[in-house]
Amino acid sequence: MRVLVTGGAGFIGSHVVTALRERGHEPVVFDVRGDPAADVRAPDAVRAALDGVDAVCHQAAMVGLGTGFADAPEYVSRNDLGTAVLLTAMADAGVRRLVLAGSMVVYGEGRYECAGHGVVRPGPRAEEDLAAGRFEPPCPVCGAALAPGLVAEDAPADPRNVYATTKLAQEHLAAAWARATGGSAVSLRYHNVYGPGMPRDTPYAGVASFFRSALARGEAPRVFEDGNQRRDFVHVRDVASANVAALEADPPAGALTAYNTGSGTPHTVGEMARALAEAHGGPSPVVTGDYRLGDVRHITADSTRLRADLGWKPEVTFEAGMREFASAL
């Protein structure tokens, strides 16, 4: 299968390209890193890139939190306009198979259960609570403590920053394209992806990369809040294999299917920082109590559907992945 990989020179995209080659497919890299003209917002360039292509793996995006609105036009342009241009060109070219790099950020906070009120969805955390060190969101009905759990694909979307909003819009665009063309679309809602090649020392790097960069400088990783916020850290090679599995699958035509793409094993940010520090041989993490408005407390995946439908499973354990990442280039 000949697969156009947008963003194919990036962190996740480059691993997807490698995984496709290993499975005997022919990846075609489309990325502004190697060619400034290879912009998904450029209709002529996209149409040319689609020549002879059987499927598209759409990884190109502007990433990060987008907590303010100053960069909203750029996020919308790169993520949503770019996706609209790509899908229009695919419709014209008769390419009917899409795998989209989705994100768990579309959920906002994760799944919570109150002992008295069952499953509830807390709103955004108040700044006065965060400043006072009250990091856990309370039950929105009674104010009691909540138990975090795994979020499934049928959870309501609740994007809480610009980036998250654009990722949800990408899914809506892909669903509309699938309905209009009879194509098949899969969104892999990535959780916290880490591994070799992860961006470093930029505002768009992930928390694992920030911790690793600190260790490389001989500094202690600085952990926000109390370090107990739960995440699902999934290795980039496992994410790449999920993309290949989705491309090789036969999903329903005329619809978008979303899959959580995570390890299925939650860890706290503090645990991750300690694992990296131990593997690197650097100073122990420092828990700062600092916070960022717009961050969610807990978001961890239920990846059962991906495993059941596509036969995918993660291969890299948290411990092995952190040991590798501690010294990876």
Q: Which of 75, 163, 190, 291 is catalytic?
A: 163
Specify whether 107 is catalytic: no
Q: How far apart are CA 243 and CA 186, in angstroms?
A: 9
Q: What is the CA radius of gyration of the chain?
A: 20
Q: Which long-range contacts (CB under 8 A, 24 or more apart) does 36-42 make?
A: 39/82, 40/6, 40/78, 40/82, 40/83, 40/85, 40/86, 41/77, 41/78, 41/81, 41/82, 41/85, 42/85
DSSP per residue, 275-295: HHHHHHT-PPPEE-----TT-
What are the C-alpha distances in Å from 199 to residues 64, 238, 296?
11, 18, 22
Q: How far apart are CA 163 and CA 175, in angstroms?
A: 19
Q: What residues are labeled active site?
A: 163
